[in-house]
């Protein structure tokens, strides 16, 4: 392409006549001259209103520009079949004028190249499908148009100084710049495109493993293909009064958002979520709700790999993630991707940065988002690691990963066992039997069902169940004891690792690991310096002779790191536990052994001590539990009201973990919390329900409250992951208000299918168009037993013909299906001929 030839065709009279068509035509007698700066978007008309320039006008304008640029004698800058694509890309970019928040004065200050770059950042994928020549022509036309737009601003606004360079000088400089760019871009563009293709292919391979860290026994798969077995998570978007009535699929919560902080407890699937986003983006297999991520370049940045140092610059992103081809990326490639607004930044584990470094990381994120507009940013953290609204000033929204539902747990168990059946030497019949007995145990045993709330714990339960040949302990203490036995005694034996000369039984390992976990808890750390860990072991080795006689502290440290499966070195010079769950369990055990109940009481109001207190209660003797719980519900001078409330509710939650307790103490705790169970909005109601079945004993009689209160109670009770909630929800089933009936209907998948259908679904009035969920074939059969329903919401990927073979089709008048369901509307209509169109996809 000859830039000089193209520019010569874009004569100033032509551009001066064309560019004003982009802007509002003044009403008679008003004029456009104003005495102050004017937002650019006001000159165009914002999206969502009647636009001064409609889409077809923009396409016509873009086509006219391209025809002018390619017409006449001389070399043609692009192939004839690409004219329309360049024109459409130009129209899409110019359409972004309606989104420009800066004033005309600020736009002029950017000058033509800066203003054109700003427009490109608002529509980062506009020229993505163009050839190198087409992209170059698009950039040249956009910059020439930007120049004339700025001249238009200076001519219409008295407030803009006329300081722009002479037009001829601008064209000469632009011509020289694009001649240099043309000489450089083809090779650079080709190199970038080739590398991006390779990087996408490698990302889809390298991140396509779902891993449950620490459970790497010969009898248990530690990972399996992500793209075929990933289980979509649910989350609570936002929070506070505006939160959703029920958790929604994470893809729906992330839809349309470019900056978001994802909170989740240890093992809840935060890292796996980012892996899935990276793989799905790289393979171009994102669901419809996340169409805005298509074509982006995913950068996975684990904070644990740089959290102790300065955050990486873009050129170091691939090395930080351990990408083998990091050194082969074209110079400046990552920076170009980000400046074009084409990146998907997946920053995993803010909590894995040392606490003093987190504020520095927040400032870095602020700088990155300001320097690289147009990109999409997802950041994950454990809930207590950073305060609410930690990134609110940087325009980040927040979501909280929700506990897995009953159906999600069952799906996880099925997929885990499917992966196990693919292993060499596996017995499919035995594994099928284990799978079914575990699903039955999770459905019928309250303690197990309460523990299986996230992928980590589900994976642990699957591995334990297989190792114990179809048996599982039911209590929290027994479960963790079995897990420690599996990881500390059997792991090395089954993995057949080389002998390191150290032979420690389970108990000495636990005693030493407890010292490390206890130090981290007391000091509020999620990791420690390696030297501190060795020093702690050095001080405590004399008290553990079985370890002391086998080596010094450094030797024992290496043994614990390499052989227990519980420790790791996330960065050079630091050590942490593979999951916070195990750290908390060991720290709680240490505190109970040292009788540190006063320390537990003093910290029982802190969120980060919740699991430690619960576990300590499950490990303590009855008299110790009674003393601790009395203290938690008693008045303590100096304790803030909010902290006292938290401590009392935690005491109520702890009742679920004790095997023996003085009845008077139980009644004392229940009386202290009875009046506190009154959340004002759905988000608080769900958080209350997640405490567990004990909450049901604190709620008022559902038949005696107002409809507003009844709705909050429905949210609370239906968030309790236990079939005990059915009895309480039955007291709300006769309510007529729609939001209450919707809440009860949508809670069905969380509970025993047949019982919930019999006691709740059968009693819900259909009037007003209440939709009934159908999540699996068991629910379909239950609905068929009730004669069917007029309005159905089919969730998941159920086959329409199979459903029609179970459900009576004549009563069905309206259907909702998931947006990404593969069956067409015509297929649904053929299976359910009495349905009134349209088929709603939501």
Average pLDDT over residues 733-758: 92
What's the half-sphere exposure (Cβ side, CA atoms, 13 Å) at 614? 21
Residue matched to tokens 């009693």: 763
Q: For residue 221, give the DSSP letter.
A: -
pLDDT at 24: 64
Out of 195-199, 223-227, 551-555, 608-612, least confident range? 223-227
Average pLDDT over residues 310-317: 89
pLDDT at 454: 76
| Better-predicted residue by pLDDT, 393 or 179 | 393
Distance of CA 465 to the CA centre of its chain: 29
φ/ψ of residue 787, rounded to 5: 90, 5
CATH assignment of 498-594? Answer: 1.10.10
Tell which residue, 329, 328, 330, 335, has the closest CA to residue 312: 335
Structure tokens at 511: 């005693």
| Better-predicted residue by pLDDT, 352 or 781 | 781
pLDDT at 517: 95
- Cα(672)–Cα(718) distance, rounded to whole angstroms? 23
Out of 69-73, 202-206, 476-480, 489-493, least confident range? 489-493
Sheet holding 528-529, edge to edge: 528-529, 574-577, 567-568
Tell which residue, 818, 819, 765, has the closest CA to residue 790: 765
Out of 17-26, 465-474, 780-789, least confident range? 17-26
| pLDDT one-digit tens code per residue, 659-696 | 788 999 999 988 888 767 778 888 888 878 877 676 78
- Cα(572)–Cα(592) distance, rounded to whole angstroms? 32
| Better-predicted residue by pLDDT, 575 or 2 | 575
Distance of CA 698 to the CA centre of its chain: 33
| pLDDT one-digit tens code per residue, 512-562 | 999 999 999 999 888 889 999 999 999 999 999 999 999 999 999 988 887
| pLDDT one-digit tens code per residue, 766-785 | 999 999 999 989 999 999 99
Out of 33-37, 166-170, 563-567, least confident range? 33-37
Average pLDDT over residues 53-61: 73
- Cα(559)–Cα(542) distance, rounded to whole angstroms? 17
Average pLDDT over residues 792-797: 87
pLDDT class of 162 with cuts at 50, 70, 90: very low
CB atoms within 10 A of CB 169: 10
- Cα(304)–Cα(795) distance, rounded to whole angstroms? 37
Average pLDDT over residues 466-486: 77
> For residues 521 and 585, is the Cβ–Cβ distance under 8 A?
no
pLDDT at 189: 67
For the cut 60, the answer to whether the pLDDT of residue 409 exceeds it is yes
Out of 384-388, 739-743, 836-840, least confident range? 384-388
pLDDT at 27: 42
| Better-predicted residue by pLDDT, 114 or 393 | 393
Distance of CA 655 to the CA centre of its chain: 32
CB atoms within 10 A of CB 468: 14
Q: For residue 792, give the DSSP letter.
A: E
CB atoms within 10 A of CB 163: 9
Terminal-to-terminal C-alpha distance of the chain? 47
- Cα(468)–Cα(483) distance, rounded to whole angstroms? 11
- Cα(312)–Cα(220) distance, rounded to whole angstroms? 36
Out of 4-8, 101-105, 537-541, least confident range? 101-105
Q: For residue 410, give the DSSP letter.
A: H
Average pLDDT over residues 452-479: 78
| Better-predicted residue by pLDDT, 496 or 492 | 492
- Cα(818)–Cα(822) distance, rounded to whole angstroms? 9
pLDDT at 160: 43
pLDDT at 441: 81
- Cα(668)–Cα(246) distance, rounded to whole angstroms? 32
Strands 297-302 and 343-348: parallel
| Better-predicted residue by pLDDT, 756 or 698 | 756
Q: Which of 77-86, 575-584, 663-672 has the highest mean pLDDT?
A: 663-672
For the cut 50, the answer to whether the pLDDT of residue 187 exceeds it is no
- Cα(789)–Cα(835) distance, rounded to whole angstroms? 12
Contacts with 530 (C-beta within 8 Å, 6 or more apart), sequence order: 557, 569, 573, 574, 575
pLDDT at 518: 95
β-bridge partners, 376: 344
> For residues 202 and 325, is the Cβ–Cβ distance under 8 A?
yes
pLDDT class of 308 with cuts at 50, 70, 90: low
For 306-349, give the secondary structure using H, E and C: CCCCCCCCHHHHHHHCCCCCHHHCCCCHHHHHHHCCCEEEEEEC
β-bridge partners, 391: none
For the cut 70, the answer to whether the pLDDT of residue 50 exceeds it is no
Structure tokens at 145: 């148009």
Helix or strand (DSSP H, E) at 528 = strand 528-529
Sheet holding 397-401, edge to edge: 248-249, 234-237, 397-401, 259-263, 376-381, 343-348, 297-302
Contacts with 718 (C-beta within 8 Å, 6 or more apart), sequence order: 246, 689, 725, 729, 743, 744, 746, 747, 750
Out of 424-428, 688-692, 755-759, least confident range? 688-692
b/e 622-649 (16+ beta carbons within 10 angstroms → b): eebbbbbbbbbbeeeeeeeeeebebbbb
- Cα(818)–Cα(792) distance, rounded to whole angstroms? 12
| Better-predicted residue by pLDDT, 325 or 28 | 325
| pLDDT one-digit tens code per residue, 231-282 | 677 887 654 333 344 678 888 888 888 999 998 876 778 888 898 899 889 9
Q: Note the pTM of the prediction, 2 decimals.
A: 0.53
Average pLDDT over residues 401-412: 81
pLDDT class of 701 with cuts at 50, 70, 90: confident
φ/ψ of residue 543, rounded to 5: -85, -5
pLDDT at 494: 44
For the cut 60, the answer to whether the pLDDT of residue 186 exceeds it is no
| pLDDT one-digit tens code per residue, 549-562 | 999 999 999 888 87
Contacts with 56 (C-beta within 8 Å, 6 or more apart), sequence order: none
As its CATH architecture, domain 232-403 has 3-Layer(aba) Sandwich (3.40)
Structure tokens at 216: 């790497």
pLDDT at 52: 46
- Cα(515)–Cα(561) distance, rounded to whole angstroms? 14
Distance of CA 678 to the CA centre of its chain: 29
| pLDDT one-digit tens code per residue, 616-664 | 998 999 999 999 999 999 988 888 877 887 788 889 888 877 878 899 9
- Cα(21)–Cα(586) distance, rounded to whole angstroms? 70
Task: Tell me the pLDDT of the chain averaged across its residues.
Answer: 81
pLDDT class of 222 with cuts at 50, 70, 90: low
Count of positions (residues) in the chain? 842
- Cα(51)–Cα(49) distance, rounded to whole angstroms? 6
Tell which residue, 136, 236, 145, has the closest CA to residue 181: 136
| Long-range pairs of 624-630 with CB within 8 A, sequence gap ≥ 24 | 624/592, 624/595, 624/597, 625/654, 625/658, 625/661, 625/665, 626/661, 626/662, 626/665, 627/597, 628/597, 628/600, 628/601, 628/604, 629/654, 629/655, 629/661, 629/665, 629/668, 629/669, 630/665, 630/668
Structure tokens at 387: 């305060």
């Amino acid at each position: 392409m000859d830039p000089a030839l193209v520019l010569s065709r874009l004569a100033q009279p032509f551009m001066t006549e064309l560019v004003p068509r982009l802007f509002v035509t003044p009403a008679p007698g008003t004029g456009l001259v104003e005495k102050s700066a004017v937002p650019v978007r006001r000159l165009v008309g914002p999206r969502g209103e009647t636009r001064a320039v409609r889409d077809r006008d923009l396409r016509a304008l873009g086509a006219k520009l391209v025809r002018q640029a390619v017409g006449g004698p001389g070399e043609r800058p692009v192939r004839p079949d690409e004219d329309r694509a360049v024109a459409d890309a130009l129209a899409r970019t110019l359409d972004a004028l309606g989104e420009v928040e800066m004033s005309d004065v600020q736009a002029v200050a950017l000058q033509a190249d800066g203003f054109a770059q700003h427009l490109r950042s608002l529509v980062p994928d506009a020229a993505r499908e163009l050839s190198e020549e087409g992209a170059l022509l698009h950039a040249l036309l956009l910059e020439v148009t930007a120049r004339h737009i700025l001249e238009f601003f200076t001519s219409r606004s008295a407030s803009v100084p006329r300081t722009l360079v002479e037009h001829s000088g601008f064209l000469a400089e632009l011509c020289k710049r694009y001649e240099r760019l043309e000489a450089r871009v083809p090779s650079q563009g080709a190199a970038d495109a080739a590398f991006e293709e390779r990087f996408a292919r490698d990302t889809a391979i390298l991140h396509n493993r779902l891993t449950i860290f620490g459970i790497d026994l010969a009898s248990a798969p530690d990972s399996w293909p992500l793209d075929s077995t990933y289980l979509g998570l649910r989350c609570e978007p936002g929070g506070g009064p505006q939160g959703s009535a029920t958790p929604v699929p994470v893809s729906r919560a992330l839809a349309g958002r470019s900056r978001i902080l994802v909170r989740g407890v240890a093992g809840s699937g935060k890292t796996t979520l980012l892996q899935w986003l990276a793989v799905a983006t790289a393979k171009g297999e994102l669901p419809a709700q996340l169409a805005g991520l298509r074509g982006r370049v995913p950068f996975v940045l684990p904070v644990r790999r740089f959290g102790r140092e300065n955050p990486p610059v873009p050129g170091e992103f691939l090395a930080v993630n351990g990408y083998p081809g990091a050194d082969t990326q074209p110079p400046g490639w990552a920076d170009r991707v980000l400046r074009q607004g084409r990146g998907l930044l997946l920053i995993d584990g803010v909590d894995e940065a040392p606490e003093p470094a987190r504020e520095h990381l927040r400032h870095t994120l602020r700088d990155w988002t300001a320097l690289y507009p147009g990109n999409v940013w997802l950041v994950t953290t454990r809930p207590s690691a950073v305060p609410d609204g930690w990134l609110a000033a940087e325009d980040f929204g927040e979501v909280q990963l929700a506990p897995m539902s009953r159906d999600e747990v069952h799906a996880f168990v099925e997929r885990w066992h499917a992966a196990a059946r693919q292993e060499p030497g596996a017995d499919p019949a035995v594994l099928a039997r284990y799978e079914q007995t575990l699903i039955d145990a999770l459905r019928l045993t309250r303690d197990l069902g309460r523990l299986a709330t996230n992928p980590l714990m589900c994976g642990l339960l699957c591995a334990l169940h297989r190792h114990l040949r179809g048996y599982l302990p039911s209590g929290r203490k027994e479960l963790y004891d079995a897990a420690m036995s599996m990881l500390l005694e059997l792991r090395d034996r089954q993995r057949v690792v080389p002998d390191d000369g150290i032979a420690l039984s389970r108990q000495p390992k636990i005693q030493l690991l407890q010292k490390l976990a206890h130090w981290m808890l007391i000091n509020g750390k999620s990791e420690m310096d390696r030297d501190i860990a060795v020093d702690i072991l050095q001080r405590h080795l004399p008290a553990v002779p079985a370890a002391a006689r086998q080596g010094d502290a450094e030797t024992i440290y290496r043994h614990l790191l390499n052989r227990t499966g519980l420790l790791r070195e996330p960065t050079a010079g630091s050590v942490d536990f593979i999951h916070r769950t195990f750290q908390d369990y060991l720290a709680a055990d240490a505190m109970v052994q040292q009788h540190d109940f006063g320390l537990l009481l003093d910290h029982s109001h802190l969120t980060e001590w919740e699991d430690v207190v619960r576990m300590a209660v499950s490990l303590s003797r009855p008299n110790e539990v009674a003393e601790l719980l009395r203290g938690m519900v008693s008045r303590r001078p100096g304790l803030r009201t909010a902290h006292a409330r938290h401590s009392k509710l935690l005491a109520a939650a702890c009742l679920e973990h004790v095997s023996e307790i003085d009845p008077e103490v139980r009644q004392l705790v229940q009386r202290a919390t009875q009046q506190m169970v009154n959340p004002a909005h759905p988000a608080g109601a769900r958080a209350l329900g997640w405490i567990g079945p004990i909450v049901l004993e604190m709620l008022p009689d559902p038949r005696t409250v107002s409809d507003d209160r009844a709705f909050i109670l429905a949210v609370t009770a239906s968030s309790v992951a236990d079939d005990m909630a059915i009895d309480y929800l039955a007291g709300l089933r006769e309510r007529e208000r729609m939001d209450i009936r919707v809440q009860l209907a949508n809670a069905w998948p969380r509970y025993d299918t047949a019982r919930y259908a019999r006691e709740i679904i059968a009693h819900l009035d259909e009037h007003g168009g209440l939709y009934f969920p159908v999540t699996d074939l068991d629910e379909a059969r239950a609905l068929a037993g009730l004669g069917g329903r007029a309005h159905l919401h089919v969730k998941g990927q159920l086959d329409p013909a199979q459903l029609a073979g179970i459900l009576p089709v004549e009563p069905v008048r309206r259907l909702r299906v998931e947006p990404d369901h593969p069956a067409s509307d015509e297929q649904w209509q053929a299976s359910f001929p009495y349905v009134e169109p349209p088929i709603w996809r939501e």
